């Protein structure tokens, strides 16, 4: 089955540690995105990538880093510089405009920093 | 940039019809999306509008007026399982990214 997979579903880390969230898709989508969701805040864009080996900052990129070495994979690292990392993280992918429409989301990773 | 507004909460009764509004101000426009999100789960795609008018898909319909920067999602024959957050999102023409509103929490009661 085609889809987008995030792992793990729940993640706990100690303050000051870096942590990497996995996102893999087998939909052959060119574009991939990372969003953060906090209660009452909606989804906010962290980073996005439209092609392998290229990515752009979203609205709240500070304290995060990404890589796009393969079309299928777009991991997100939450660094110790992120002041408030506890949140629900959502990865999404889509075909580029003109080739498709909606973005498909993974199941999310709930990160708790203690 | 984009600014998207939608009501925070709405309540409705099982079997009724509810309309969730979304207004947006945008520097570029390449489509408006509606997603449904149950608590703790991923958003799932409901509808897409890029031209003015009404798109119907089963119990759900979505309307767009580009000149007014306005959309609504219409849910008919409400069921308890429709209790969820409904997210309005606009795609920017230049970047292909989606900007989301804060979502409307819909509570359906018996």
Q: What pLDDT digit, counting tens, does each position of B62-81 carry?
A: 999 999 999 999 999 999 99
CA dihedral B94, B36, A107, B101 (to 10 degrees): 40
**Partners of residue A107 in chain B, C-beta under 8 Å:** 41-42
Phi, psi (rounded to 5 degrees) for A8: -80, 175
Q: Percent of chain B beyond pLDDT 70?
A: 97
| Partner-chain residue, chosen from B41, B48, B100, that has the shortest CB–CB distance to A102 | B48
C-alpha to C-alpha distance for B95 and B98, rounded to whole angstroms: 9
pLDDT band at A100 (very low <50, low <70, confident <90, very high): low
Separation in Å, CA of B49 to nearest CA in chain A: 10
Average pLDDT over all residues of chain B: 93
Record: contact B96-A40, CB cut-off 8 A: no
Report the DSSP pairing between strands A4-7 and A19-25.
antiparallel
pLDDT score, position A101: 72
**Partners of residue A48 in chain B, C-beta under 8 Å:** 95, 97
Section B29-57 average pLDDT:
93
Q: How crowded is residue B46: how many other Cβ atoms within 10 Å of its Cβ? A: 20
**Partners of residue A104 in chain B, C-beta under 8 Å:** 45
pLDDT score, position B104: 97
C-alpha to C-alpha distance for A24 and B41, rounded to whole angstroms: 17
Check whether B1 has a pLDDT greater than 80.
no
Check whether A83 has a pLDDT greater than 70.
yes
pLDDT score, position B95: 62
pLDDT score, position B97: 84
User: By the 8 A CB rule, do A37 and A86 touch?
Assistant: no
C-alpha to C-alpha distance for B47 and B55, rounded to whole angstroms: 8
Record: contact A42-B45, CB cut-off 8 A: no
Q: What is the pLDDT of residues A16-57, one digit of tens each?
A: 899 999 999 999 999 999 999 998 778 999 999 999 999 999
pLDDT score, position A95: 86
Residue among A38, A61, A102, A105 with most chain B CBs within 10 A, to mutate = A102
Record: contact A107-B42, CB cut-off 8 A: yes
C-alpha to C-alpha distance for A49 and A94, rounded to whole angstroms: 10
**Partners of residue B40 in chain A, C-beta under 8 Å:** 88, 108, 110
Residue whose C-alpha is closest to residue B106's, from B15, B18, B16: B18
B63 vs A15, which has greater pLDDT? Answer: B63
Check whether A99 has a pLDDT greater than 90.
no
The structure tokens 């900052």 sit at: A57
Q: What is the pLDDT of residues A57-76, one digit of tens each?
A: 999 999 999 999 999 999 99
């Amino acid at each position: 089955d085609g889809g987008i997979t995030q792992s793990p579903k729940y993640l706990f880390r100690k303050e000051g540690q870096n942590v990497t969230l996995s996102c893999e898709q087998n939909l052959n989508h060119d574009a991939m995105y990372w969003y953060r969701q906090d209660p009452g805040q909606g989804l906010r864009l962290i980073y996005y990538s439209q092609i392998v080996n290229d990515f752009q900052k979203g609205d709240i990129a500070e304290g995060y880093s990404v890589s796009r070495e393969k079309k299928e994979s777009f991991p997100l690292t939450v660094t110790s510089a992120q002041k408030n990392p506890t949140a629900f993280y959502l990865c999404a992918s889509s075909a580029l405009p003109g080739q498709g429409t909606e973005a498909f989301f993974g199941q999310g990773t709930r990160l708790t920093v203690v | 940039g984009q600014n998207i507004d939608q009501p925070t909460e709405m309540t409705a009764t099982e079997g009724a019809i509810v309309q969730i509004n979304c207004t947006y101000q945008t520097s570029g426009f390449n489509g408006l999306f509606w997603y449904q999100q149950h608590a703790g789960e991923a958003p799932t795609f409901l509808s897409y509008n890029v031209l003015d008018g009404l798109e119907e898909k089963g119990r759900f319909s979505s309307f767009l007026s580009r000149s007014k920067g306005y959309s609504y999602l219409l849910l008919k024959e409400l069921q308890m399982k429709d209790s969820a957050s409904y997210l309005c999102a606009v795609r920017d023409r230049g970047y292909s990214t989606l900007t989301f509103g804060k979502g409307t929490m819909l509570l359906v009661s018996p």
